[in-house]
Structure 1
Amino acid sequence: MRHAHWWQRSWVRYGALITLLSLSGLVILALVREQTGTEGFLVGLGLAVLPVPLLIAAFRWLDRVEPGPWRNLVFAFAWGACAAALIAIVANSFATRWIATATADPSSADTLGATVIAPIVEESAKAAAVLLVFLFRRRDFTGIVDGVVIAGVTATGFAFTENILYLGTAFGTDQLSGDSGIASVTAATFFVRVIMSPFAHPLFTVLTGIGFGVAALSGNRLRLRHVLLPLSGLLLAMGMHALWNGSSTFGEFGFFAVYGAFMVPAFGLLTWLVVWTRQRELRTVREELPAYTAAGWLSPAEPYALGSMRARRLAREYAQQRLGRPAAQAVAQYEAYATSLAFLRHRGRQGRADADFVVRERELLNELWRRRELARPALDHAAWMTAPPVRVAVPATPWPVYGAVYGTHGMHGAPGPHGMHGAPGPHGVHDPAQGPGPGPGQGYGYGYGYGYGYGYGYPAAQHPSYNPYQS
């Protein structure tokens, strides 16, 4: 048995990442404090933190259908606030000084730095966090909403650090002019950056996240679109960022013209897009899970309840009122696993399933089975409270489900020679009361009532006539 090299071990990677982000945070802290002074840093910190909880809550709300792990969000925020901010402040300062020296024109260097250098450097630095999650947390990155959330949280962290710098510098300017407390320059900076445009950086980087999200919909097999789509999103983010930074050069009212005619409509359009995508995810849950109801894994009311955010909330509240917080957490986990199962099946029916489709499906069903006694009554109650009784419709197109086979006479057959073929069974469905994987003869099959044994003989994914990607 081969052992992983030391640099491939998870604790080594986590340790290196935490060390990198910690060092970046210490360096950026020292740089910002040097430019603003201690008092300016504290004032900037107190003002810059105000929009952060609201933005994080908004992105977490978008992610409620299939919530990703908190560790991804913590990484994204830390990368934006520490690593990306450090890269940006060092690269922007170096590039601006180099241009000023080369052209002997400091004013043009500042304009060029703000409209060209800053958008390229900052958006690239923020996009690195989205790329890392896309590459190394691929199971958590399955669509547009995931890209939007990771990109938005990264940009929120970046804007937090940048606002400390700008607000602290503005406070220092007021102090030099003899004003006491928070005066005109600080108030104006706070109004523009925190009140009017707290969504600016998230709006830019979300375009990159959408590019990665659309690429994630194409599956894991490497294609040209996996490069072109994220790159297109990054270029759009850079262009919007450049337009925003350059608005002050468009005349006296250039800033307000760009803000009203471009930024606000773009923000509204993207908000509509991600909310529509969220609703589409809920519809996918309602459409895909009835197949598992027919196989006996879910109760008839669960697909509807799992496809409604209101019903999900009621199910968690019902469990907590009767069995306490651990039961509510079990229901929340059940909802997340069921959603992942629906998305997995949806990708499979569209021909985008990965090689580990069967293994992943079984893992998710096992997780549901472990929590069914707590979650099922709560979800059934929530469905009864929010909708009339739900009819279960078996999908018109046969598609393999773990533990069930759609056939012409029955769904599950008795084990045949070597666990490969079974005759049509009398009940038509695997008995889930035995739990997942009861032994020989549990079939993966489709079409005319053939089951391929799971316990011995051909594994389902290796049988010559089995194709899990074909609907």
Structure 2
Amino acid sequence: MLLALCGLVMLGLVREETGTEAFFVGLGLAVLPAPAVVLAFRWLGRAHPLPWRTHAFVLAWGACAGALIALVTNSFAAVWLADIWSRPVDPNTVAALAVAPVVEESVKATALLLVLVFRGRLIRGPVDAVVLTGLTATGFAFTENILYLAKAFGSDRDEGTGAAVTVATFFVRAVFSPFAHPLFTCMTGLGAGLALLSRRRVGRVLLPVAGLLLAMAMHAAWNGSTVFGPLGFLVVYVTLMIPALGFTVWLVLWHRQRELRTVRETLPRYALAGWLSPYEPLALGSLRSRRVAAEFASYHGVRADARRLRTYAAAATRLALLRSDAERGRRTPDFARRERALLDHLWQDRALARPAFAHSWRLVPPRAPHLLPAQPARAAAPGGWYAPPQWWPRTPPPGQGHGYGQGAGHGAPPPYGRTFPPYGHSTATYGPTGPMSHPHATAPAGTPTGAGGTGQPSGGGTYRDPWVPPPAQRRQEPLRRRQW
């Protein structure tokens, strides 16, 4: 309600300053680039999608509260500088170079600070922080574009120049540089995200401050380019904006691939304990495989199933990142409770997710075939390796199907809290039962192997799920489908 009130006050001030007709023209033109920028940031964060309410909050903060605070503060600063400034330099230029960058970047960074304080567990690294700060700046730029485009339309109307100023302003702000404000604020997000990954207290303090100062410096350089005319704009655009944009996008994509690699390397331990099927870790660690699984769910079910599948993938990603942080020694409050909540979420939707991810796992070749989960056999001695259940047999038991939307045939999840030696410790109660170790671990020679822990003894002591085709057959299946 407060954000909506700020938005109404902001729109009222813009309409009062520019007029009703110019206001609606500016509003219509400012809407055009906003959806593309919002979708771009949501695409960057699709590996670990945050709740839509968080995205809506930061967008509303930038468009309503942030724009209103910046407008009022910049106006008072311009009036104050005009009263005390006696040098030949225009006080408006001084305000644009020294006041506006500090005020606007600080206001936009406040949205990230609020999310960190009240929903800090959602942000797992630089990708999440960049997405949130970019969306905040997108909302801020949307409201600012309404003001500038409305002023340009009013100038054309008063001076009788047709639409020259309006078209020029639209091309500069909406076509050539719609990423300007998001790029500045992304520096703050990068600093805060890298601080979350830092293990040193100095890094956790200095990195966000350095990111905020870099955002202010880039903003000041961008505002100063207008002082030197079109040549200064081109110089700053080519030498600063384009390289900074390319480097930021590359860094965010690199961190996103790093998160997906963490998913592929961490989730097999839960698959060995029985929480996931043996093919889900690799399928969840690929965005293309997730898309194929969502298409499968949407085709065989309804759109709500595809949304549930995306939520399932997001929960699995959070689980992998949470456990990776714990294993690396990072402080993770309430680890056991959060891990159990995520595992319960995955277990509830297993009947929906496992057929879809099995389908995508067969169609999309894994990028890391060495991580294929070789399931260990059931050991006779207590505390040994326990084979996961046979999730998807070719012939389901009587009364139990493994088709889409049906039960998995295993009502109770694996129990929690078994004491076993985790990483770097002797004994501790750490998460669910089962072997949380590398997927290539094998049982001693002579232990029984087979589907569901039954079969004849063998020297290797490993087996694969009989429902899952071998790698060679899996690679040939897309070709057979295309030929068919």
Q: 2:298 is matched by which residue type in structure 1?
A: Q
Q: Report how far residue 451 of structure 1 moved.
A: 11
Cα distance per residue 1:230-284 (max 9 Å; x no partner): 1111000000000010112335511111111111111111111111111111111
Q: Distance in 1 between matches of 2:344 and 2:426?
A: 20
What corresponds to 1:177 in structure 2? 159
**1:206 pairs with 186, 190, 198, which one?**
186
Distance in 1 (alpha carbons) for counterparts of 2:280 and 2:331? 24
Q: In structure 2, how many angstroms separate the alpha carbons of the residues matched to 1:295 and 1:81? A: 47
Q: Does 1:152 align with 2:134?
A: yes
Please name the residue that 1:436 is paired with: 413
Residue type at the aligned position of 1:193: R
Cα pair distance change 1:27/1:282, threshold 3 Å: same
**1:197 match:** 177
Show the counterpart of 1:364. 342
Whole-Å separation in 2 of the counterparts to 1:76 and 1:427: 46
1:30 CA drift (Å): 1.3
The match for 1:343 is 321
Q: Aligned equivalents of 1:252 and 1:320: distance in 2?
A: 51
Q: In 2, distance between residues paired with 1:386 and 1:434?
A: 29
Aligned position for 2:4: 22
| Structure 1 residue 435, shift from structure 2 partner | 2.7
Out of 421, 427, 434, which is 1:446 matched to?
421
1:48 Cα deviation from its structure 2 partner: 0.6
Please name the residue that 1:417 is paired with: none
Q: 1:317 to 1:303 in 2, by over 3 A?
A: same
CA contact (8 A) 2:295 2:306 kept: yes
1:59-86 per-residue CA deviation (whole Å, 9 max, x = no partner) reads 0001111100001111111110111111
Task: Compute the displacement of 1:58 (Å).
Answer: 0.3
- Report the more deviating stretch, 204-213 or 275-284: 275-284
Q: Which residue is 1:84 aligned to? A: 66
For residue 429 of structure 2, what is the aligned residue in structure 1? 460
| Cα distance in 2, alignment partners of residues 241 and 150 from structure 1 | 18
The answer on whether the counterparts of 1:344 and 1:353 sit within 8 Å (CA) in structure 2 is no
Residue in structure 2 matching 1:424, options 358, 368, 383: 383
Residue of structure 1 equivalent to 2:294: 316
Give, in whole Å, the separation in 1 of the partners of 2:240 and 2:422. 53
Q: CA deviation at 1:105?
A: 5.5
TM-score (structure 2 length as normaliser): 0.79
**Is residue 384 of structure 1 aligned with residue 344 of structure 2?**
no
Which structure 2 residues correspond to residues 133-144 of structure 1 after superposition, within 5 A?
133-144=115-126
Deviations 1:189-227 (A, max 9, x none): 1111111111000000000011111122248xx944333
Give how far 1:102 is off: 0.4
Q: Which moved more, 1:143-152 or 1:171-180?
A: 171-180
Task: Provide the residue aligned with 1:236 in structure 2.
Answer: 214
Q: With the length of structure 1 as denominator, give the TM-score of the two structures.
A: 0.81
Give identity over the alignment, percent.
53
Q: Which amino acid aligns with 2:150?
A: G
User: Counterpart in 1 of 2:397?
Assistant: none
How far does residue 393 in structure 1 lie from its aligned partner after superposition? 6.0
Say which SS state the counterpart of residue 248 (structure 1) adopts.
coil
Aligned-partner residue type, residue 460 of structure 1 = T
Query: For the residues of structure 1 that align with 2:81 and 2:277, how far apart are their CA atoms?
Result: 67
Structure-to-structure mapping, 1:30-69, within 5 angstroms: 30-69=12-51
Q: Does 2:167 correspond to 1:187?
A: yes
Structure 1 partner of 2:330: 352
* 1:125-179, Cα deviation, whole Å (9 max, x unpaired): 1000011011111111111011100000000000001010000001001111124
Query: SS at the partner of 2:46?
Result: coil
Distance 2:91 2:379 in 1: 72
1:103 to 1:262, Cα distance in 2 relative to 1, 3 A: same
Query: Distance in 2 between the 1:451 and 1:252 partners?
Result: 67
Going from structure 1 to structure 2, the CA distance change for 1:412 and 1:234 (only over 3 Å counts) comes to: farther
Q: Return the match for 2:255 from 271, 277, 287.
A: 277
- Whether the 8 Å contact between 2:260 and 2:285 is mirrored in structure 1 is yes
SS of aligned partner of 1:133: helix
**Contact 1:443-1:451 within 8 A present in 2 as well:** no
For the 8 Å contact 1:411–1:429, the answer to whether it is kept is: no
* Equivalent position of 1:216 in the other structure: 196
Contact 2:264/2:281 (CA < 8 Å) preserved in 1? yes
Match of 1:416 in 2: none
Which amino acid in structure 2 is aligned with residue 305 of structure 1?
Answer: A
**Contact residue 300 and residue 391 of structure 1 kept, 8 A:** no
Q: Is the aligned partner of 1:126 residue 2:135? A: no
| 8 Å contact from structure 1 (residues 76, 150) kept in 2 | yes
Query: Does the C-alpha gap of structure 1 residues 167 and 107 become closer, same or farther in structure 2, counting only changes over 3 Å?
Result: farther
Q: Which amino acid aligns with 1:233?
A: G
* Distance of 1:314 and 1:272 partners within structure 2: 25
Q: 1:443 deviation in Å?
A: 0.3
Q: Quick check: 341-350 or 234-243, which moved more? A: 341-350
Look up the match of 2:401. Answer: none
- CA distance in 1 between partners of 2:258 and 2:33 (Å): 29
**Structure 1 residues 279 and 412: CA distance shift in structure 2, 3 A:** farther
Does the 8 Å CA contact 2:25/2:150 hold for their aligned counterparts? yes
> Does the 8 Å contact 2:284/2:313 carry over to 1?
yes
Q: What amino acid is aligned across from residue 169 of structure 1 in structure 2?
A: K
Q: Which runs of 5+ in 2 are unaligned?
A: 392-409, 432-484
Distance 1:189 1:353 in 2: 49
Equivalent in the alignment of 1:256? 234
Distance 1:325 1:92 in 2: 46
Are the equivalent residues in 2 in contact too, given 1:171–1:185 (CA < 8 A)?
A: yes
What secondary structure is seen at the aligned counterpart in 1 of 2:226? helix
Query: Hey, what does 2:309 align to over in structure 1?
Result: 331
